[in-house]
């Protein structure tokens, strides 16, 4: 578990700092730079497209450089992109930087997931718990940015978002240094089996329906994350209340690890993923029903406890349904479908928000797509799975 917690600095940067913290900066950047909701949403679409590109190159990159070097390189690229975002007003350059940050994030997350899956073969800790603990590193990133960014924005005025990017770049660099001891002590995942000229369609078949659910989840959760802060501010939340909401979201991510880790081991993966998505729907609905502080904070707890458990659940599903030599490539395929969903979600939510001049419709989109994801995940367990790979051991 100690090595897993060291590797969890990767998701803290790749997700907590690089992707999610933008939501805290969106209102300030939108005001200072004169962006529409559509432009603001396009920033996260660029990040998602970068994540897609990173997911595509992750498998060949880890095969060429190794998972450990790829993990470190991805974190370094993400840190550089965060720093660059502080020094330009150009919409196009900001898009390119968000794209680069997405590439680094995907490579980091996929390489780290492969390393944690390998660790599970050599410990007495179950794979679901380790994968969830690794993913929950993003919760630490959310907590830190929640405590740092809103007060910094309030103290530094209209250009405070620049100082926020610089601060997060420094945190990302420090996180890379902190992850190195664990990284050096891990073992590389098993190399992939030699490719056959004729691919076996059964190898990918167990991931088709879960992949569709992951696509829908990607679009729904990112719509919530991108626009929930703007929606809460429009409802009258003060900077202190925004800090409380975002910090509570991060705490809930970490607190959800034991619960979902146990359920991943005890229930079928599709059933657990369907339950996670249903809980997310409830969390996304609360800010739609009322703008009260209590509802917002409860939403943070419900949504935060579950949304980062879904990637861990998908990694666990791939680990159970695929042979060990296909874990990295299987996780990469699932991440590609997820990245497509992330690409569509923010820009569509932004267009809807512009039409209504309110971030509220972004949360409506989140509830609809997450409901669809829950249905697909449930269906993936009720249909027969011919050609499923032999079940892997979940404990050493």
pLDDT band at 201 (very low <50, low <70, confident <90, very high): very low
pLDDT band at 124 (very low <50, low <70, confident <90, very high): low
What DSSP designation does 393 have?
A: P
Better-predicted residue by pLDDT, 218 or 124: 218
Tokens found for residue 143: 């907590």
Contacts of range 86-91, beta carbons closer than 8 Å, 24 or more positions apart:
86/161, 86/162, 86/163, 86/164, 86/165, 86/166, 86/169, 87/162, 89/33, 91/33, 91/35, 91/39
Q: Is residue 184 part of a domain?
A: yes
Q: Which residues contact 65 (CB under 8 A, 6 or more apart)?
A: 73
Q: Is residue 389 part of a domain?
A: no
- In our burial notation (b when 16+ CB lie closer than 10 A, e otherwise), range 214-224 reads bbbbbbbbbbb
Task: Examine the pLDDT at 62 and tell me if it is beyond 60.
Answer: yes
Predicted confidence (pLDDT) per residue in 81-99, tens digit: 999 999 999 999 999 999 9
Q: Is residue 378 part of a domain?
A: yes
What DSSP designation does 396 have?
A: -
Q: Is residue 342 part of a domain?
A: yes
**Of 140-149, 293-302, 334-343, minimum mean pLDDT range:** 334-343
Confidence (pLDDT) at 192: 62
Confidence (pLDDT) at 84: 97
Confidence (pLDDT) at 107: 94
Residue ranges making up the domain that contains 358? 2-188+202-382
- Give the separation between CA 305 and CA 307, rounded to whole angstroms: 6
- Give the separation between CA 264 and CA 170, rounded to whole angstroms: 35
**Nearest to 14, CA basis, from 59, 57, 48, 43:** 48
Predicted confidence (pLDDT) per residue in 254-287, tens digit: 887 777 767 776 767 678 888 999 999 999 999 8
Mean pLDDT, residues 281-299 taken together: 90
- Give the separation between CA 47 and CA 16, rounded to whole angstroms: 13
Helix locations, the chain, DSSP H = 2-7, 9-11, 22-33, 37-65, 67-84, 91-119, 127-135, 137-156, 160-185, 208-234, 239-266, 269-289, 293-307, 309-321, 327-356, 360-382
Q: Is residue 21 part of a domain?
A: yes
Residue 222 CA from chain centroid, whole number? 9
Q: Is residue 91 part of a domain?
A: yes
Provide the domain count of the chain.
1
Q: Which pTM value belongs to this model?
A: 0.78
User: CA separation (Å) from 209 to 158, 172, 275, 279, 378?
Assistant: 46, 35, 16, 20, 10
Q: Is residue 394 part of a domain?
A: no
**Nearest to 146, CA basis, from 114, 121, 168:** 168
Q: Is residue 27 part of a domain?
A: yes
CATH of the domain at 157: 1.20.1250.20
3-class SS of residue 384: coil
Give the percent of the chain with pLDDT over 70: 86
């Amino acid at each position: 578990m100690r090595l897993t917690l060291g590797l969890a600095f990767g998701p803290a940067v790749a997700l907590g700092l690089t992707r999610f913290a933008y939501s805290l900066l969106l209102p300030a950047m939108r005001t200072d730079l004169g962006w529409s909701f559509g432009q603001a949403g396009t920033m996260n679409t660029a990040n998602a497209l970068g994540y897609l590109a990173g997911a595509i190159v992750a498998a060949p990159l880890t095969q060429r450089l190794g998972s450990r070097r790829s993990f470190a390189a991805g974190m370094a690229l993400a840190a550089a992109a965060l720093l660059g975002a502080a020094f330009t007003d150009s919409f196009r350059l900001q898009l390119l930087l968000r794209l680069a940050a997405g590439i680094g994030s995907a490579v980091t997350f996929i390489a780290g997931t492969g390393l944690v899956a390998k660790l599970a073969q050599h410990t007495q800790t179950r794979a679901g718990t380790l994968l969830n603990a690794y993913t929950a590193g993003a919760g630490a990133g959310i907590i830190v940015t929640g405590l740092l960014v809103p007060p910094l924005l309030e103290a530094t005025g209209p250009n405070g978002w620049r100082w926020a990017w610089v601060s997060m770049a420094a945190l990302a660099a420090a996180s890379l240094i902190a992850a190195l001891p664990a990284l050096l002590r891990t073992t590389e995942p098993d190399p992939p089996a030699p490719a056959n000229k004729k691919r076996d369609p059964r190898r990918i078949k167990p991931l088709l329906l879960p992949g569709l659910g992951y696509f829908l989840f990607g679009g729904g959760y990112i719509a919530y994350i991108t626009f929930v802060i703007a929606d809460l501010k429009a409802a009258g939340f003060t900077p202190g209340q925004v800090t409380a909401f975002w910090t509570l979201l991060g705490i809930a991510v970490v607190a959800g690890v034991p619960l979902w880790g146990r359920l991943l081991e005890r229930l079928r993966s599709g059933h657990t993923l369907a339950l996670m998505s249903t809980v997310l729907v409830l969390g996304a609905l609360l800010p739609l029903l009322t703008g009260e502080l209590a509802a917002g904070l409860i939403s943070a707890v419900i949504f935060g406890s579950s949304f980062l458990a879904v990637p861990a659940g998908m990694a666990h599903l791939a680990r159970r349904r695929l042979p060990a030599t296909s874990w990295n490539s299987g996780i990469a395929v699932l991440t590609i479908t997820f990245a497509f969903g992330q690409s569509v979600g923010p820009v569509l939510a932004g267009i809807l928000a512009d039409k209504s001049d309110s971030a509220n419709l972004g949360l409506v989109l989140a509830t609809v797509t997450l409901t669809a994801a829950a249905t697909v995940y449930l269906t993936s367990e009720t249909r027969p799975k011919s050609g499923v790979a032999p079940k892997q051991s979940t404990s050493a």
